[in-house]
């Protein structure tokens, strides 16, 4: 009997958490829509230098938000973007990763994982919020795994609000090829 009660309690707790996360996402700032101007920003990179979206006018920008440095899914996603850097360059595109981790954390992550594209520190949550990508779970705040393809004029050309780290770089490259036709 006790095991059934514990099991039922676990199920109820799971449902409460699932509903809570859904409500939090619904209350979060909405993402900019396709066709709208991408919210401009300036954030610090892993090199300790400021990076602004406007610095990349004339190029395609793959702006991807991810939860946390050194976690398995985020590491896989970053490795795939790193692996495909030459393909992005051929498409006149830059990859910018954003999380709420510090620039120092990004520097350590890039060094450990051999990453040479820019990771940007959104420690005050403003950019993640502007892109509808900030998740609050209790006291923890992190960027949701979202990606925005921004065209050379600074408009949102495509957005991904449900990202699988395994194949994401490939699907972004396919979308870039389609968008550049």
CATH number at residue 80: 3.40.30.10
- In this structure, of 29-33, 40-44, 107-111, 119-123, the range with the lowest mean pLDDT score is 29-33
pLDDT band at 11 (very low <50, low <70, confident <90, very high): low
The residue segments making up the domain with residue 108 are 31-179
% the chain with pLDDT above 90: 72
Per-residue pLDDT, averaged over 33-54, amounts to 95
**Looking at the 3D structure of the chain, how many domains does it have?**
1
Residue 103 lies inside a defined structural domain of this protein: yes
Pairing type for strands 42-45 and 50-52 reads: antiparallel
Residue 134 lies inside a defined structural domain of this protein: yes
Residue 23 lies inside a defined structural domain of this protein: no
Residue 68 lies inside a defined structural domain of this protein: yes
CB atoms within 10 A of CB 176: 20
* Mean pLDDT for the chain overall: 88
Per-residue pLDDT, averaged over 25-30, amounts to 54
Please check whether residue 161 is in contact with residue 151, taking contact to mean a CB–CB distance below 8 angstroms. no
Question: pTM here?
Answer: 0.82
Q: Between 157 and 10, where is the model more confident?
A: 157
- The answer for residues whose C-beta is within 8 angstroms of residue 140's C-beta and 6 or more apart is none
User: How far, rounded to the nearest angstrom, does the alpha carbon of residue 34 sit from its chain's CA centroid?
Assistant: 16
Of 75, 68, 70, 62, the closest CA to residue 170 belongs to: 62
Residue 108 lies inside a defined structural domain of this protein: yes
Model confidence pLDDT, tens digit, residues 50-104: 999 999 999 999 999 999 999 998 999 999 999 999 999 999 999 999 999 999 9
- 26 has a pLDDT exceeding 70: no
Residue 168 lies inside a defined structural domain of this protein: yes
Predicted local distance difference test score (pLDDT) of residue 27: 41
The DSSP code for 125 is: S
H/E element holding 64?
strand 60-65
Predicted local distance difference test score (pLDDT) of residue 137: 84
Pairing type for strands 156-160 and 146-150 reads: antiparallel
Among 43, 61, 74, 156, which one carries the catalytic annotation? 74
Please check whether residue 41 is in contact with residue 29, taking contact to mean a CB–CB distance below 8 angstroms. no
- 32 has a pLDDT exceeding 80: yes
Distances (CA, A) of 53 to 19, 83, 127, 156: 35, 23, 11, 12
d(CA 103, CA 123): 9
Told to judge if 74 belongs to the known catalytic residues of this protein, a careful annotator would answer: yes
- In this structure, of 4-13, 70-79, 128-137, 156-165, the range with the lowest mean pLDDT score is 4-13
Predicted local distance difference test score (pLDDT) of residue 112: 96
- In this structure, of 6-20, 49-63, 97-111, the range with the lowest mean pLDDT score is 6-20
35 torsion bin: left (phi>0), alpha (psi -120 to 50), beta (else): left
């Amino acid at each position: 009997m006790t095991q059934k009660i514990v099991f039922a309690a676990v199920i109820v707790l799971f449902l409460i958490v699932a509903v809570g996360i859904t409500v939090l996402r619904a209350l979060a700032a909405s993402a900019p829509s396709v066709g709208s101007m991408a919210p401009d920003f300036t954030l610090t990179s892993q090199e300790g230098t400021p990076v602004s979206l406007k610095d990349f006018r004339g190029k395609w920008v793959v702006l991807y938000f991810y939860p946390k440095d050194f976690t398995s899914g985020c590491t896989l996603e970053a490795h795939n973007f790193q692996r495909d850097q030459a393909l992005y360059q051929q498409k006149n595109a830059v990859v910018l990763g954003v999380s709420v981790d510090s620039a120092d954390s990004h520097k350590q992550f890039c060094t450990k994982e051999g990453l040479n594209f820019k990771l940007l520190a959104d420690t005050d949550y403003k950019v993640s919020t502007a892109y509808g990508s900030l998740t609050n779970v209790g006291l923890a705040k992190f960027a949701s795994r979202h990606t925005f393809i921004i065209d050379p004029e600074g408009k949102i050309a495509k957005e991904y609000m449900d990202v699988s780290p395994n194949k994401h770089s490939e699907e972004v490259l396919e979308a870039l090829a389609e968008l550049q036709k």
